[in-house]
Amino acid sequence: MVSVRGSVVDVQFGKDLPPINSVLRAGADDRIVIEVMTQLDASRVRGIALTPTQGLARGMAVRDTGGPLKAPVGKAIISRMFDVFGNAIDRMPAPVDVQWRSIHRAPPLLSERSTHSQVFETGIKAIDVLVPLERGGKAGMFGGAGVGKTVLLTEMIHNMIGHEKGISVFCGIGERCREGEELYSAMKEAGVLKNMVMVYGQMNEPPGSRFRVGETALAMCEYFRDDEHRDVLLLIDNVFRFIQAGMEVSGLMGQMPSRLGYQPTMGTELSGLEERIANTHAGAITSIQAVYVPADDMTDPAAVHVFSHLSASIVLSRKRASEGLYPAVELLQSSSKMATAAIVGERHYALAQEVRKTLARYEDLKDIIAMLGMEQLSPEDRMAAGRARRLERFLTQPFFTTEQFSGIKGKTVSLKDSLDGCERILHDEFKDYPESALYMIGAISEAKKPAPASKPAPAPPAAGGVAKPVPAKKEPVKAGGAKADPAPPGLGKEEPSKAKPAHEGPTKVEPTKVEPAKTEPTKAEPTKTEPTKTEAGAEEPKSAEPTKAETAKAEPTKTEPAKTEAGAVEPKAAEPAKAEPTAEATPAPESKRAA
């Protein structure tokens, strides 16, 4: 070992320089794992440590393991959880009877690939109707922080694993450590762990290990596909973290950053991973990947590069999430190359086009509605807007994953039911239903026309759409339930608490002043500036200023305090200022007294 700088380690070898990607081991019990990145000269290599480098020092011996990183494969890995090195991390003994295979492998040749296209049903309405996924394809879920990528991914696992005969491999890259544990327990509870393998390199791990964990998972997928001829579902949360880890490694190796600080080799690294997710004649690897979009910017180079590998892109937006329209799929921005008549069939294609058209028209009308209101729309436009709003609501869905905090039972909906629902809405069969009747339901048959007797009156305005904007705002509160509700009470609490000190302050010093303080809350702001002046120094000017500002009202108050409080001149000046500043103003006089 000739140098150690953070995760970057240089090692000198006598002869036989280990090739790139070789794994070196060092430290007590060979605990520290180093992967060779470059050969610096005839005798030295530079590597990145995949474990923390604590305890590593110059002069220490390093052992060349003579091979690359390896992952365990075999039947015994099913229902287990691993780290990037293939160590079991589920507190159970290491699996026996496994083979160890290199995690590095070239993608299958074009001639080996299968080009068969088949739709993969998820049971989620918005996705099945507008963004059909491809069996053996790659689907991405794009979204900024906290818009529901993980929830949607977990829901898909829930919906698909049960009736898929294949095996699922979940790969957690650089996300929260707790999510691994949560998913493991959830899968165990749901009894689907027997068809699942999990591999994690979460955010607590060094960049090198986050960078390689995707390949470890792929090596396992390839084993199931090529050796066992099974279909594999590969779920990745989150591919952006793979790119980010590559960026960190590249930085550590001293490479010049490219656009927005990303590594110059991002495209190559990403295709190295994505191209291995392929269908061959032996079996298919279907992959669903969450893609974090930094700052909700869809033009971010990382997002753009991932886009180009996918057959379906589901875009999740903060705007829809904030309206409570979960799953927050941006229906017009999401797309799938499967959405063609030849693959999904004429009826589905025509319906999906009609849904998009209706939503796009509503999108165009939104500006006019915002400026002039619904009443200014032509009757057809008003109908179209109503249809679009009903479609938007129908395409929300309660999830099994969110049952605990939304309080609504999860639902899966067959493609047929989803299409029927959209068709009937497009035919205006639900124009007399309030929009909320379609919100967070499963199949369209669940839509209820509430209180038939009283409805006739409210329903016509609803159809006209005039009343609608209001219900729209209410719904999210119901749905986002857990989230939306706590916030307002929180705010509510804060305000009174601010108000109380304001009253308490004056009360302590002079009970007499409490009243003026209450009566002039509006003047509090202009007066705020005055206490600061008060503290600054001049006493007389202060009393003069409040008089200007508050005129007659301020003066009486000032005179009273002067009489009551023999001790301090300042408190009076500060107190007329009262209201909000009280908290600040009262301590100030005290400190002066103390001084």
- Which residues are annotated as catalytic? 149, 175-176
Parallel, antiparallel, or unpaired for β 335-336 and 312-315?
A: antiparallel
Q: How far apart are CA 57 and CA 261, in angstroms?
A: 31
Using CB under 6 A as the binding rule, whether residue 483 contacts ligand ATP is answered as yes
> Applying CB under 6 A, which of residues 67, 146, 460, 461 lies at the interface with ligand ATP?
146
**Stretch binding ligand ATP (CB under 6 A), from 27-35, 143-151, 358-366, 573-581:** 143-151
Name which of 80 and 411 has its Cβ closer to ligand ATP. Answer: 411
DSSP classification of residue 300: -
CB of 336 to ligand ATP, least distance (A): 20
CB-closest chain residue to Mg ion:
150
CB of 149 to Mg ion, least distance (A): 5
For Mg ion, the closer of residues 173 and 218 by Cβ is 173
Q: Position 479: which residue type?
A: A
Instruction: Tell me the residue number closest to ligand ATP, measured at CB.
Output: 148
Q: How far is the CB of 210 from ligand ATP (least distance, A)?
A: 15
Side chain identity at residue 96, one-letter code? V
- Print burial letters for 399-425: b (CB count within 10 Å at least 16), e (below 16): bbbbeeebebebbbbebebbbbbbbbb
What is the number of other CB atoms lying within 10 angstroms of the CB of residue 281? 12
Q: Which is nearer to ligand ATP, 22 or 122 (CB)?
A: 122
Which residues are CB-neighbours of 370 under 8 A, at least 6 positions away?
none
Q: Which residue, 152 or 344, has its beta carbon nearer to Mg ion?
A: 152
Select from ligand ATP, Mg ion, none the partner in contact with residue 85, using the beta carbon and a kind-dependent cut-off of 5 to 8 Å. Answer: none
The residue type at 340: T
Within residues 147-166, the interface with ligand ATP by CB under 6 A covers 147-151
* 244 within 8 A of 213, measured Cβ to Cβ: no
Site for ligand ATP in 173-192 (CB under 6 A): 175
Strand-strand pairing, 138-143 and 285-292: parallel
- What is the smallest separation between the CB atom of 292 and Mg ion, expressed in angstroms? 8
Sheet holding 196-201, edge to edge: 81-82, 196-201, 167-173, 232-237, 285-292, 138-143, 312-315, 335-336
Binding footprint of Mg ion on the chain (CB under 5 A): 150
C-beta of 296 vs 423, nearer to Mg ion: 296
CB of 158 to ligand ATP, least distance (A): 12
Q: In the bound complex, what is the minimum distance in angstroms from residue 585's beta carbon to Mg ion?
A: 47
Given the complex with ligand ATP, which of 154 and 279 has the nearer CB atom? 154
Structure tokens at 496: 């009174």
Per DSSP bridges, beta strands 81-82 and 196-201 are parallel
* Residue 589 CB contacts under 8 Å (≥ 6 apart), including other chains: 568, 570, 571, 574
Burial class (CB in 10 A: 0-12, 13-18, 19+), 488: exposed
In the bound complex, what is the minimum distance in angstroms from residue 475's beta carbon to ligand ATP? 12
Residue among 201, 253, 269 nearest 47 (CA)? 253
Contact residue for ligand ATP among 263, 280, 406, 418 (CB under 6 A): 406
Q: Cα angle at 143 between 138 and 146, to 5 degrees?
A: 125
**Residue 326 interacts with, from Mg ion, ligand ATP, none (CB under 5-8 Å by kind):** ligand ATP
Binding mask 32-71 for ligand ATP (x = CB under 6 A): ----------------------------------------
* Interacting span for ligand ATP (CB under 6 A) from 19-27, 94-102, 138-146, 258-266: 138-146
Told to check if 145 binds ligand ATP by CB under 6 A, we report yes
Going residue by residue from 321 to 360, which x/- string records binding to ligand ATP, judged by CB under 6 A? -----xx---------------------------------
If the CB atoms of residues 223 and 326 are measured against ligand ATP, the closer one turns out to be: 326
Question: Do 517 and 579 touch, CB atoms closer than 8 A?
Answer: yes
Q: How far is the CB of 35 from ligand ATP (least distance, A)?
A: 27
Question: Which x/- pattern over 384-403 shows residues binding ligand ATP (rule: CB under 6 A)?
Answer: ---------------x--x-
Our CB check for ligand ATP shows the closer of 108 and 148 to be 148
Q: Which stretch binds ligand ATP (CB under 6 A): 98-106, 140-148, 209-217, 557-565?
A: 140-148
Kindly provide the residue ranges of all beta strands, DSSP E only, lying in 114-271, ordered along the sequence. 119-120, 133-134, 138-143, 167-173, 196-201, 232-237
- Say how far apart CA 135 and CA 93 lie, in whole Å: 35
By CB under 6 A, name the binding residues for ligand ATP: 143, 145-151, 175, 292, 326-327, 399, 402, 406, 483
